[in-house]
Structure 1
């Protein structure tokens, strides 16, 4: 059945594989790749690319932090802490936020807030809020409540029991989820520039539109370096958190 579905998909889409591997197509791809092998490493352009990389990093960081703060708040009702109706409403909001891709949110936010990094921050924050809110709520639901129940039995207020009995158990997992989403948001922040959200993506779209392959290659290198550095730092931080919630 799977094989039949794959074959049917190729037939339905009408993919021209012979055209892809035709001699003229191969020559065009060779010329295109050859132009990318000579990136523009001039001082002014490298400085401009570095500023765009910092902007991309800032967009991803601010968007992730805003989403994490919102997720902490909405995770409480989504986990059933405020009753059944509140849980249904909170989960509906979370499903709505994460069902819309970041690029669609960015296109909408560009219309609402204008071109620039602010639209990228809002787009990342809205989608990531939907993801982190769901993860935070599930962590709350699955965490043992013995410490919280003991504090409540000793006469502690509900807020104090939650803060001292439950949050220390889930905070490391919440932070690990946030760092992992930051890794993903770095890549997405670089792509959001294609719809006018600033950063490296906007630079790449501009230079590709002008067929400036050398400058485009430099931007791609900057994207790789940025993603590689953030992924490595985030992975080390998450490994450091592992003993705390093992």
Structure 2
């Protein structure tokens, strides 16, 4: 134990990795065929988290705003790549709109949280801004991937309906709107579920981490609520923004429905 928090040594990490190994072995014995993927993902997560811990530690000690912005920029680029790799059935060329939506919404949310809610000194405090960016991006990436996949899937399912609406004089936006609403709602489901269950069914990760590290439980609860509120707002705004920028990919210049093979 260090101060009021508990330190995890190398043996603790090894035990945690062994738990995953046992789960992977059970998977292979049951012929589920995800054991290797599970084990590799766990090892990769351990390496990535430790590397990020070292980087964040260096950034905090240096207290340099340019290093903070550099880390955020790398995280944004990685978020775009992960979003596009997770989304299924989407056309090519969406990297720009995804990056733009993430940059706009992230800058907005980070500015609001740091300047109006927490108000750290200095304003770019690395120990706040970098972890907060990671938590917000992690949730937004999942929501965007789900939302984009659902939108294009819905548009394909509604092809005849969309053609009919266009023939009756509807604009592309009006024809695509049911699919847009459906995709945004689906992307928001995990966030709304977290908001509804936190504090009763679950103790979210950030709050649990601060309490385990010896922080004040009430203050940890306040931080967790701020993060959840920012995630909810960010997810909705990012989903709405990306839908606004990409729905036209389902239509031609003459406002006709464009089939998937032509996008």
Give the TM interval when normalised to the shorter protein: 0.3 to 0.5
Structure with greater contact order relative to length (CA < 8 Å, sep ≥ 6): 1
Larger fraction in helix: 1
Q: Which TM-score applies when normalising by structure 1?
A: 0.33
TM-score relative to the length of structure 2: 0.31
Larger-Rg structure? 1
